[in-house]
Amino acid sequence: MAHMKKLKQSICPAIILLAMGLDGQSQAAVIPFTNDVAFQSALGSFVIHNFDSFALNEGPDGGGSFQTLDQQIPGIDFDNARVNLGAFGGTFHSSPNVVLNADFVSPIMVTFATPQFAVGLYNSSLVDAERFEIFDASNNLLGSIDLPDQVVNFGGFISDTGIARAMVTPIAPTNGSIYIDDLTLGTPTAAVPEPAVAWLFGSGLLLLFGRFGSGYKPA
């Protein structure tokens, strides 16, 4: 029992100092997600823009028939974006359409007329990795996730600071063209924890501290 007391005594100030340090580094509390089920479960309501109702009346070109994506969805402004069939260089999360970067090189930019508090999307490029970033109204970076290649995968954020803009950038490995699908916007069911608390939950340290602090006895 003596060694458990020493461990508890060493953990307590370390956790407090770590929490104080992390809290001083950022004023925004942001929770990243790489699991779509967990993300949607944390939302009280959400809407998914799957781009599948778009008529692809432009082209064809090297990427097939497409439709330039700009402001067709109320409240959302896309830059360097086009809607394509998800069968050219990648796939889709929901059939048949996806969004590509229009120049096959630069990031896709998404600007919200009203700041959002939960934003998620899928990387369906298969051969391209992507960096998904969110920004506040002052263009401060709130969060960043790297989404891998080879498989359709999800990235999302819940933030206590309004998300004014999102950016999806091709990163290695990539041929420059990137696919995204099913842009999800929602309202969280609860307040976002403070940054240090969210980190402690994610790392398991808060749970560990709680077990020691409540008189936990190992078998």
**pLDDT of res. 105:** 96
The SS3 call for residue 34 is coil
Count of domains forming the chain: 1
Least confident of 15-24, 117-126, 182-191: 15-24
Tokens of 84: 């394509």
Assigned domain for 218 exists = no
Residue 204 lies in a domain: no
For residue 171, tell me if it sits in a domain: yes
Rounded distance between C-alpha atoms, residue 5 and residue 193, angstroms: 29
pLDDT(127) > 50: yes
How does pLDDT run across 22-81, given as a tens digit for each residue?
444 446 799 999 999 999 999 999 999 999 999 999 977 777 889 999 999 999 999 999
Whole-number pLDDT of residue 117: 98
- Over range 160-180, report the average pLDDT: 96
Residue 128 placed within a domain: yes
Q: How many other CB atoms are found less than 10 A from the CB of residue 20?
A: 10
Confidence of residue 195 (pLDDT cuts 50, 70, 90): low
Task: Give the model's pLDDT for residue 213.
Answer: 44
Domain that includes residue 115, residue range: 29-191
* 129 in a structural domain: yes
Give the helix/strand (H/E) hosting 122. strand 108-123
Specify the pLDDT at position 190. 78
pLDDT at 194: 56
The whole-number average pLDDT for the span 4-26 is 40
- DSSP SS3 for 15: helix
- Which three-class secondary structure state does DSSP give residue 22? helix
Matching residue, tokens 């936990």: 216
| Average pLDDT estimate for 178-189 | 96
- The angle, 0 to 180 degrees and rounded to 10, between the axes of the packed helices 205-213 and 2-25 is 140
**pLDDT band at residue 200 using 50, 70 and 90 as cut-offs:** very low
| Any domain includes 60 | yes
Encoded tokens for 117:
């508090």
Residue 90 to residue 123: CA distance in whole angstroms: 9
Whose CA is closest to 135, among 98, 163, 174? 163
Phi, psi (rounded to 5 degrees) for 41 = -70, -25
The pLDDT of residue 113 is above 50: yes
Residue 51 belongs to a domain with what CATH number?
2.60.120
